[in-house]
Chains A and B, each alone.
Chain A
Amino acid sequence: MSTLDDPSPALHPRPEPVLEVHNLRVDYGSFTAVHDLDLTLTPGEIFGLAGPNGAGKTSTIRVLATLLEPTYGEVSVAGSDLFEEPEAVHELIGYMPDLAPVIPDLKVWEFLDLYAASHGLRGRARRERVDACLERVRLTNARNVYGRALSRGMMQRVVLAKTLLHEPKLLLLDEPASGMDPIARRDLRHILEALAEGGAAIIVSSHILSELSDMCTSVGIMHGGRLLEHGPMDRVMSAIDAEAAQIRIEIVGDAHRVAEWLRAQPGVERMRLDGSTILLAFRGDRAARSALLRSLVAEGFDVAGFTPERSSIETLLMSLIGGGASHVDSTGE
């Protein structure tokens, strides 16, 4: 497992964390949904939580949102204890559930007004805030539409607006982009980036992994209730690249002969031949890749291209939970 500590803490003093989770555990009877989770998020961090179904993502987010009582563990949000001071924490967090519902018999502005009032905003400040958030999610024209008349994607945007009303320091978004059209997804990404620039920390759980890599600054992979790997996006990817990579090799001439030769080389796990292109799942660091290229050339093969492809979150996820090589085979990417 890679170590992802900041290499120069003295030069860059770490800001006060927005979220600190220590030893968090969630059980449903004898099934452990979240297993002794440790996590720290700093201001400006957009943390992507990825993992297969049943990994414990939603349980983790519901605990952080104070909606689920954990078996044990300590959680603090901007210094406030989640379990001792839940009302103080509620001022600091914004939560958007998967398939977020909207109250059907309220108009969109009334729905937002309800939660603006619940967060203590009054009078003109409240009206302005509601209007601003509606504008932010591009729903100003729908302010007088009833909740029951909204489409799935519009509901998501309304609930996102609700979540932003009190400018939370910690945003918990469970599959926030489900049902959104591409423009709304792009807007969501921009909104999250702007919030992060303002100092908020954001946790985004999503199955659309490419989406996470687009918007997140850090990522965590959950499986079986455990956080297998987490840290800044670039480092996690580099760590994975250092251990395993997908290499695209362009051959001039008989690619079959090259494939036969490659199959016998150490570190080669799987491959697929596509015309004169060989897609290779290779386990080894930069030096090993360099050695492979040298050997190819030394064997007299005409190599027109040798490109280690950057790992995606998919490959990271698959490699961590044990399906990395087969993934290369199945997608052929």
Chain B
Amino acid sequence: MSIALESKVSPVPELEARGAASGRGAVTDALLPWRNPVFMRYVRSRLRLRKAIFWYLVTLIAATFVVSLMYTLQTNSGTPAEAAARSIWIPLLVMQGIILMIKGAGSVSAGLIQDRIDQTLDYQRLTPVSPLRNLVGYLCGLPVLEYAMFALTLPHLAFVAVVGRIPPDVLLSVYCSFFVCVVMYHMTGIAAGMVIRRWIFGYMLSILLVLFVNVMLPAFVSQLGLRFFQYLSVWPVIAQKVVPVVTGSAVVPQTGNPFLAVFGDVPFYRWSMSPFVFTLLLQGALILTFGTIAVRRWKSSTRHSLSKPFALAFLLGFLVVLIGNVWPIVTRAYMPFPLFGQWSLDELGEVVAISLPLVYAYVVWFLCIVLLAIVVPTHHHVVRGLRRAIKHGRPAPRLWEDDSASLLVYALFTVAAVAGLLVLLREIAASGYFVESFGRSPATVWRLPLALTLVVIYTALLFQALGPRKAMLVVLLVWCLPILASVVLSAQTESFDGLHAVVHSLSPVAFLLMSGLPAAEVGTPEALEGAVSAVGIGANTGLVAVAAQIVVLWLLWSRRSRVSYALCRSPVSAAASLPPASASNE
């Protein structure tokens, strides 16, 4: 019977019926969402009315309630209809942001992780659809319910735009920036989905990231000199484009509200850029990065999320933007930051001389930790790379390959990080901040670049010699524990003396801080002289401790490398105990 059935099966139609054909057909396929099978999959599954009706109703009811209530209250209090309608725009934008950015990003990462767990992602990997087209399918398809919910708010937006007479160019630029931001968050979700193993973690991480970027960064971090973080959110564009429309003022009000306190153009070295352009550039770069992660992991789930050259380029790009944003301060051009806005540049001597290099060192070190965790190969990858290289007649993997464990590459990361710091310190010195603060350039100014050099190399060796799991153990025991112990000791004696500093500085985190405090240079009150001297002791002890750890890690790595080489170079002895492979049946 089965054989009879088989005769009914039609052969696969020839290539002309196949959409995967190259040329014009491929371009059309890429442009038309309904030709994207992945997108259509989610249209079918996520927009099924029985499941989606709840969300449609929630959106319609909430949006209609907000618009009608606010409009009625305002017009009843005598506000003109145009102004009343405009005032609804920001709440509506927030609602749209919650739908697309928070719920959407969570859906993207959770959906992708679930597909990976179910192994249905492998099915899609095995189709001839290109990684990019698959990526577009997932990017547009996974949050398709949220796009539909957003679409349900469009009548309300139309009401606001028509009654409020909002200029179309303003609408266009705001929603252009809004959607670039949405795509960036969704790309974050895709990247998280390709890397994280549990959907709940991916879901939570994506949502927390959106909240962090939109709330924490503008409110706190960007006020401390890292202003460019603010441009990862939609607030700069809202402040520049929406607030003037809503308030009817051409100038952004100096509200003091950290969310909206983005003033004028973006400082970038000697130039200033439009927030709109800067936002698009910054978010575009991040979209590219997340896209690269997704495509690499799509092609092979065992690849590193970023290649070594890309990670190094990312670090360099980050440094260029980071230094560019604080350049007006360190060169004494003007004060662009709201938190320091009430101070003149002449009053910022010690803040710029001490805090700015320290903030730079910590932020760059943190980024190096993230990037090195991505690009440093595990022992398994090192062995695989060695075997592959030896098989192809090379002594080791090529420098930039994923499986390469090259100190030269880690040295380049270190050089880039430290070079940025040296540029910053040189400008700070040239602008007279050191002289203003200490009367002269501090003799210990070399400590911070040296400390940054050591901790970056130390981080690379930590991942290389111990692997990520053991590295986490070291972070807990060596990075955190000494700090906690010294805090307890200090609380017991109500002082911070040499012993406390020695314990404290065993942690590289504390070592970096102590190396960045030119304590001996600052004129200190007599009461603090003990603490100042302790910081100096701590910096020296930390230097020895980190250097010793580097030596230990180096020895561990060398030993491991020798074992790996021995293992890879003697395949015959390893195979001797096994039966021989049979001849091919050719």
Residues of A within 8 A of B (CB): 1, 3-5, 14, 17, 23, 25, 27-30, 32, 35-40, 65-69, 71-72, 86-88, 90-91, 93, 95, 97, 101-106, 110, 114-115, 117-123, 125, 128-129, 132-133, 135-136, 138, 162, 165-167, 186-187, 190-191, 194, 218, 223-232, 320
**Chain B residues within an 8 Å CB radius of A67:** 122, 125-126, 301
A186 to B5, CA, bound (A): 13
Q: Which B-chain residue is minimally distant from A9 (CB atoms)?
A: B586
Cross-chain contact A115 with B123 (CB below 8 angstroms): yes
Q: List 17 A-B contacts (CB under 8 A).
A: A29-B383, A90-B126, A105-B45, A105-B48, A106-B41, A110-B44, A120-B17, A120-B18, A120-B20, A128-B10, A135-B8, A135-B9, A138-B5, A218-B585, A224-B578, A224-B579, A228-B581
Tell me the minimal C-beta distance from B51 to chain A in angstroms.
Answer: 8
Partner of A229, one of B13, B18, B300, B582: B582
**B250 at the A interface (CB under 8 A):** no
A8 to B492, CA, bound (A): 91
Tell me the minimal C-beta distance from A309 to chain B in angstroms.
Answer: 24
Cross-chain contact B128 with A227 (CB below 8 angstroms): no
* Most interface-central of B124, B125, B578, B586 (chain A CB within 10 A): B586
Tell me the minimal C-beta distance from B260 to chain A in angstroms.
Answer: 41
Q: Given A103-B45, A114-B41, A227–B127 Cβ distance below 8 Å? A: no
A-facing mask of B26-66, CB < 8 A → 1, else 0? 00000000000110110011001000000000000000000
Cross-chain contact A122 with B387 (CB below 8 angstroms): no
Tell me the minimal C-beta distance from B307 to chain A in angstroms.
Answer: 15
Cross-chain contact A103 with B118 (CB below 8 angstroms): yes
Q: Given A117-B19, A118-B37, A120-B21, A90–B128 Cβ distance below 8 Å? A: yes
A173 to B215, CA, bound (A): 50
Cross-chain contact B2 with A35 (CB below 8 angstroms): no
Tell me the minimal C-beta distance from A58 to chain B in angstroms.
Answer: 12
**B12 at the A interface (CB under 8 A):** yes
Q: Which B-chain residue is minimally distant from A45 (CB atoms)?
A: B585
Cross-chain contact A230 with B585 (CB below 8 angstroms): yes
Cross-chain contact B3 with A5 (CB below 8 angstroms): no
**Chain A residues within an 8 Å CB radius of B384:** 27, 71
Cross-chain contact A97 with B2 (CB below 8 angstroms): no
**Chain B residues within an 8 Å CB radius of A162:** 123
Cross-chain contact A223 with B579 (CB below 8 angstroms): yes
**Chain A residues within an 8 Å CB radius of B388:** 71-72
Tell me the minimal C-beta distance from A252 to chain B in angstroms.
Answer: 42
* Most interface-central of B20, B37, B40, B581 (chain A CB within 10 A): B581
The 5 closest A-B pairs by CB, nearest first: A120-B18, A120-B20, A118-B127, A117-B37, A190-B2
Q: Is the interface of A mostly helix, strand, loop or mixed?
A: mixed
Cross-chain contact A230 with B582 (CB below 8 angstroms): yes
**Chain B residues within an 8 Å CB radius of A121:** 12-13, 17-19
Cross-chain contact B19 with A227 (CB below 8 angstroms): no
Cross-chain contact B579 with A167 (CB below 8 angstroms): no
Partner of B124, one of A32, A118, A229: A118
**B249 at the A interface (CB under 8 A):** no
Contacting A at CB under 8 A, from B194-247, are: none
A-facing mask of B555-569, CB < 8 A → 1, else 0? 000000000000100
Partner of B583, one of A3, A32, A136, A226: A3
Cross-chain contact B12 with A129 (CB below 8 angstroms): yes
Cross-chain contact B21 with A226 (CB below 8 angstroms): no
- Total interface residues on B, using CB and 8 Å? 59
**Chain A residues within an 8 Å CB radius of B13:** 121, 125, 129
Q: Which A-chain residue is minimally distant from B34 (CB atoms)?
A: A117
A3 to B584, CA, bound (A): 9
Cross-chain contact B392 with A72 (CB below 8 angstroms): yes
Q: Given A106-B44, A118-B129, A167-B11, A136–B584 Cβ distance below 8 Å? A: no
Cross-chain contact B18 with A122 (CB below 8 angstroms): yes
Q: Which A-chain residue is minimally distant from B129 (CB atoms)?
A: A118
**Chain B residues within an 8 Å CB radius of A87:** 128, 130
A187 to B235, CA, bound (A): 62
**B469 at the A interface (CB under 8 A):** no
Tell me the minimal C-beta distance from B211 to chain A in angstroms.
Answer: 28
Q: Which A-chain residue is minimally distant from B137 (CB atoms)?
A: A118
A225 to B575, CA, bound (A): 10
**B380 at the A interface (CB under 8 A):** yes
**Chain A residues within an 8 Å CB radius of B302:** 68-69
Tell me the minimal C-beta distance from A79 to chain B in angstroms.
Answer: 16
**Chain B residues within an 8 Å CB radius of A104:** 118
Tell me the minimal C-beta distance from B143 to chain A in angstroms.
Answer: 16
A229 to B8, CA, bound (A): 38
Residues of B within 8 A of A (CB): 2-3, 5-6, 8-13, 17-21, 37-38, 40-41, 44-45, 48, 118-120, 122-130, 299-303, 379-380, 383-384, 387-388, 391-392, 567, 574-575, 578-586
**Chain B residues within an 8 Å CB radius of A165:** 12
Partner of B6, one of A117, A122, A136: A136
Cross-chain contact A194 with B3 (CB below 8 angstroms): yes
A132 to B10, CA, bound (A): 7
**Chain A residues within an 8 Å CB radius of B17:** 120-123, 125
**Chain B residues within an 8 Å CB radius of A37:** 581
A138 to B6, CA, bound (A): 11
Tell me the minimal C-beta distance from B29 to chain A in angstroms.
Answer: 9
Partner of A40, one of B48, B575, B586: B586
Q: Which A-chain residue is minimally distant from B45 (CB atoms)?
A: A105
Cross-chain contact A119 with B391 (CB below 8 angstroms): no
**Chain A residues within an 8 Å CB radius of B379:** 29
**Chain A residues within an 8 Å CB radius of B128:** 87-88, 90-91, 118-120
**Chain A residues within an 8 Å CB radius of B584:** 38-40
**Chain B residues within an 8 Å CB radius of A23:** 391
Partner of A27, one of B40, B122, B383: B383
A65-B126, A66-B125, A167-B11 are known contacts; what are 10 more A-B pairs with Cβ within 8 Å?
A27-B384, A38-B583, A40-B586, A67-B125, A110-B44, A119-B18, A128-B10, A136-B9, A230-B582, A232-B585
A83 to B392, CA, bound (A): 15
**Chain A residues within an 8 Å CB radius of B123:** 115, 162
Cross-chain contact B21 with A5 (CB below 8 angstroms): no
Cross-chain contact B583 with A4 (CB below 8 angstroms): yes
Tell me the minimal C-beta distance from A313 to chain B in angstroms.
Answer: 16
Q: Given A132-B8, A194-B3, A224-B578, A231–B126 Cβ distance below 8 Å? A: no
Tell me the minimal C-beta distance from A229 to chain B in angstroms.
Answer: 5
**Chain B residues within an 8 Å CB radius of A231:** 585
A194 to B3, CA, bound (A): 8
Tell me the minimal C-beta distance from A298 to chain B in angstroms.
Answer: 38
Q: Given A120-B18, A132-B8, A29–B581 Cβ distance below 8 Å? A: no
Cross-chain contact A97 with B119 (CB below 8 angstroms): yes
**Chain A residues within an 8 Å CB radius of B303:** 69
Partner of A1, one of B10, B300, B583: B583
**Chain B residues within an 8 Å CB radius of A118:** 37-38, 124, 127-129
Q: Given A72-B392, A136-B9, A117–B586 Cβ distance below 8 Å? A: no
A105 to B567, CA, bound (A): 48
Q: Which B-chain residue is minimally distant from A110 (CB atoms)?
A: B44
A114 to B392, CA, bound (A): 40
Cross-chain contact B9 with A30 (CB below 8 angstroms): no
A40 to B584, CA, bound (A): 7
Q: Which A-chain residue is minimally distant from B378 (CB atoms)?
A: A29
Cross-chain contact B581 with A36 (CB below 8 angstroms): yes
A232 to B119, CA, bound (A): 33
Partner of B579, one of A28, A106, A128, A226: A226
Q: Given A1-B582, A120-B20, A122-B17, A114–B37 Cβ distance below 8 Å? A: yes
A28 to B387, CA, bound (A): 12
Q: Which B-chain residue is minimally distant from A68 (CB atoms)?
A: B302
Tell me the minimal C-beta distance from A131 to chain B in angstroms.
Answer: 9
Q: Given A105-B45, A115-B123, A186–B2 Cβ distance below 8 Å? A: yes
Cross-chain contact A114 with B122 (CB below 8 angstroms): no
Cross-chain contact B581 with A227 (CB below 8 angstroms): yes
**Chain B residues within an 8 Å CB radius of A86:** 299
Partner of B582, one of A88, A105, A228: A228
